Amino acid sequence: MWGNEAAKKKILLNSSEFYVGENLWDALHYLRKSGDPMPIWADAICINKEDVPERNRQLPLIKWIYFRAKTVVVWLGKKYSRYQSCMQVQTSQEVALQATSQDELQKSAVASETPTESIQAPKALALGIDEKAGMNANNEEREMVMELCADPYWNRLWIIQEIGRARQKQVCFGSLAMDWNAFIEIVTLHNSSCEGPLRLNRLLQDKYSGSHTLRKLLQDNRAALCKEPRDKIYGLVGLAADAIGFPVDYRKSLIEIWKDTMEFMNCRDLLPESDIIPFGGLLKSLLIGTSLGPLEQALQPYELRPNSALVIEDSSSPRVFKLQAYIVGCIIAIGPSTGEIISSMRKADEWAAEIQQNFGKELGDAHRENDILMHTIQDSDDECLASTCFSHVSNIRWSGSLNFTITNCYEFVIRDNKARYGLSHSYGQLNDTLPAAINSHLFLVKNPWRIETPWKMGIASRLAQPGDLVCWVRGVERALILRVTLGEYKHNFQVFGTALFTNDIENHDPHHATRLSWFREGEKLALQIDSTTIYVLLA
């Protein structure tokens, strides 16, 4: 247990004074009294956690330290000493002798082909459980077990690897000691909960059943506690069966570790397409929480560099994530910024005229949606609007084809709007230091396959242009803006920022997953994006 680390106790280490936490000090005293001198490894002593390079070197070794240790000791603290009367007290020599006796029983069972279940009763006696007290389930013993199960020790993340890698485990609390199996037996006898040590024991039992993949470990232990957020990932890597070669570096930012994990999983085909967004969201919640997070580390100012060496065009690269996108439609007009639509009546009128020109047959629905959009912008503060969409350009560019009808519409929109676009918006030359809210613009969109367009407008990144496609990815309300460079047979695609539709800005449409079923198969597009774009979608 961490214990009260503020209270430091002095020990002699290589003849020099060294200070440790009170709980470790108690553990060392307990082990000294328990038997013969023995070498002991404790991370608080053996690793200088203030030295990041040393920490990086030591972390990959920890899994082997616990794996090769003769015994891993679980020290729960001396506060349980008051329960000494209800249990048989054992020294470490007695535990060792009983473990030897148990080994002999096991060997005998194997030699006679006797099922190991048949030796459960002798095992209980050999491991030092007061069988009579256990069978009678006396109140004092039950109270002790309930307190043991509620001990915050079991919520610590690092114990999952430490106990999971151990060959032999000894549980020590107060003046008591028992091996792991005996401990689980007595806990099971008095406790119906599946949490605490019983949850950890189930994890150990499933060790070779496929549950010790990095993805499963992260999912199952997302509530485990650690002081360093990086340990949410690093603390489970040593136990994961599929995480050999995982890059560990405490100098990296949380965003970098998020990207490392996503790309590590992707390059080893450990992430099915359907899990990319949910897993990315899980990682983000583990490392950063539910807030937007340090987006400035993920987003770099965009520069017009069409032939940049940073662009990845190799679809087999581990940095390329492949998803299915639903094409909501083509942008047919870009309006004023969110600030201009409120501050300038003239801009508001021009925007209303644009709506009238493009939605003559759906004018009532279009004006209703526009009123909702205006009220939402008016009622939102700058900070809220700044988190609406992002001017992020993916460094993945790929080739593909569109449905013929959508291609024709796209060409028409580009030709029709090219002159107006060139005069009214100098995209790529805006000041990147401006707040995102100032750089966000209103947009109109039409679906060329439909008689009606259910989602007509919203707020888009400053990089959006008429003729861009707006796409949804399953599991994320924020839309992607897709720039298409038309070719004779194939077209080039690249993500140019994000957007939100009116319903999503207003109340985060709870029916997002349902509305994706509205699309036909021909309106899907094979999307290729980088990890940063996934993070931006989840922000």
pLDDT-based confidence at 384, cuts 50/70/90? Answer: confident
Domain boundary among 178, 205, 232: 205
Q: What pLDDT shows up at residue 208? A: 85
Number of domains in the chain: 3
Residue 538 lies in a domain: no
Domain boundary among 153, 178, 205: 205
Residue 314 lies in a domain: no
Residue 117 reports pLDDT greater than 50 = no
Place of tokens 């037996």: 185
Q: Are residues 325 and 288 in the same domain?
A: no
C-beta neighbour count of 369 within 10 angstroms: 22
Q: Residue 243 pLDDT > 60, yes or no? A: yes
Within a domain: residue 3?
no
pLDDT at position 34 is 77
Mean pLDDT value of segment 292-299 = 50
- The residue out of 265, 298, 331 marking a domain boundary is 298
Q: In the numeric block, which tokens belong to residue 347?
A: 């801009």
> Per-residue pLDDT for 105 more than 70?
no
pLDDT at residue 472, rounded to an integer? 94
| Structural domain contains residue 372 | yes
198 and 246 housed in the same domain? no
Q: Is 313 helix (H, G, I), strand (E, B) or coil?
A: coil
Task: Report the sign of the C-alpha dihedral through residues 348, 351, 357, 358, in that order.
Answer: negative
- Alpha carbons within 13 angstroms on the beta-carbon side of residue 384 total 10
Q: How far apart are CA 25 and CA 85, in angstroms?
A: 24
Question: Is residue 101 over pLDDT 70?
Answer: no
Within this chain, do residues 270 and 410 fall inside the same structural domain, yes or no?
no
* Residue 522 and residue 490 in one domain: yes
| pLDDT at residue 496 is higher than 60 | yes
Do 224 and 352 sit in the same domain of this protein?
A: no
How many residues comprise the chain? 539
CA–CA gap between residue 427 and residue 107 (Å, rounded): 76
Arithmetic mean of pLDDT, 158-171: 93
Q: Is the pLDDT of residue 535 over 50?
A: yes
In a domain, residue 448? The reply is yes
pLDDT of residue 55: 92
> Does residue 408 sit in the same domain as residue 511?
yes
- When pLDDT is averaged across residues 124-150 and rounded to a whole number, the result is 64
CA gap 267, 99 in Å, rounded: 44
Q: Are 31 and 129 within one domain? A: yes
Q: Specify the DSSP element, H or E, that contains 473.
A: strand 469-473
Query: What is the rounded average pLDDT of the residues 500-525?
Result: 81
pLDDT of 31 higher than 60? yes
Residue 465 scores a pLDDT above 80:
yes
φ, ψ of residue 326 to 5 degrees: the values are -105, 120
**Within this chain, do residues 188 and 228 fall inside the same structural domain, yes or no?**
no
> What secondary structure does DSSP assign to 25-80, as a single string?
HHHHHHHHHHSS------HHHHS-TT-HHHHHHHHHHHHHHHHH-S-EEEE--GGG
500 and 427 both lie in a single domain: yes
The burial of 101, by beta-carbon neighbours within 10 Å (0-12 exposed, 13-18 middle, 19 or more buried), is given as: middle
The predicted structure's pLDDT at residue 140? 85
What is the three-class DSSP state of 218? Answer: helix
Q: Which range is least confidently modeled, 242-251, 310-319, 453-462?
A: 310-319
Mean pLDDT of 62-67: 94
Share of the chain residues as helix, strand and coil, in percent rounded to the nearest 5: 50, 15, 35
Pair 417, 519 in one domain: yes
Show the tokens assigned to 78: 């001396």
pLDDT higher than 50, residue 304 = no
pLDDT at 199 over 80: yes
Residue 297: pLDDT over 70:
no
Domain membership flag for residue 125: yes
DSSP result, 145-166? HHHHHT-GGGGBSHHHHHHHT-
Residue 464: helix, strand or coil by DSSP? coil
CA-nearest of 198, 195, 203 to 160 is 203
Q: What is the pLDDT of residue 318?
A: 84
- Residue 417: pLDDT band (50, 70, 90) is low
Domain that holds residue 342: 321-533
Give a yes or no: residue 359 inside a domain. yes
Instruction: Report which residue type is found at 124.
Output: A
Tokens describing residue 64: 């082997």
In a domain, 306, yes or no: no
Q: pLDDT value at position 317? A: 87
- Average model confidence (pLDDT) across the chain: 80
Q: Are residues 242 and 382 in the same domain?
A: no
**Weakest-pLDDT range from 81-90, 229-238, 258-267:** 81-90
* Same-domain status, 232 and 185: no
